[in-house]
Amino acid sequence: MPEVVVVPTEDKMKSLGADLLKRLKPGDLVMLEGELGAGKTTLVRGMAESAGWTEPLRSPTFNLMQEVPVTPPLMHADLYRVKSAWGIGLEDYLDSHICLVEWPDRLDGFFDPDNAWIVHIDFEGETARKVTIRPPL
Ligand code: ADP
Ligand code: MG
């Protein structure tokens, strides 16, 4: 069953990322769904910072992929500007990293959603977000 969490602030979104990271392991892929500004990158930033990352986590979509060399290592991909995930090199990280993918609709045929975590973020009221977490089936 999917879990639903209401997240009132940006800081709480980062805490949720820290909590979620504890449940992930290399080889896991997380599909991060939600409109621009929903908080996908903020969630990933919370994960990275909880693992000790102090450098910027780049949010701009022209950075297709950013490796975050913490333990376990993260690969943050933002596929907003690509049509497909084929050929961008993401496959090299699928086994060794926790892969965190924004705009996962571009993964069509590349990764079986049944094997992925799906995190869906909706806007809720003024500043809150409703986050639905579905572990792999
Ligand atoms: P996305 O990657 O989904 O496009 P970002 O994480 O880059 O979104 O941006 C989310 C923006 O919304 C940030 O500017 C953040 O400060 C703001 N924000 C306000 N409230 C929240 C909240 N409850 N959770 C996450 N982000 C929030
Ligand atoms: Mg983003």
Tell me the ligand closest to 39's alpha carbon.
Answer: 1
Q: In the numeric block, which tokens belong to residue 134?
A: 């579905």
DSSP class of residue 115 equals G
How many angstroms separate the alpha carbon of residue 36 from the centre of ligand 2? 7
Q: What is the CATH number of the domain that holds 114?
A: 3.40.50.300
Residue whose Cα lies nearest atom 23 of ligand 1: it is: 9
Domain encompassing residue 68? 3-134
Question: What's the whole-model pTM score?
Answer: 0.96
Q: Within the chain, where are the H helices?
A: 10-21, 40-50
pLDDT tens profile 90-120? 999 999 999 999 999 999 899 999 999 999 9
Averaged confidence pLDDT in the chain: 94
Count of domains forming the chain: 1
Peptide bond into 72 cis (omega under 30): yes
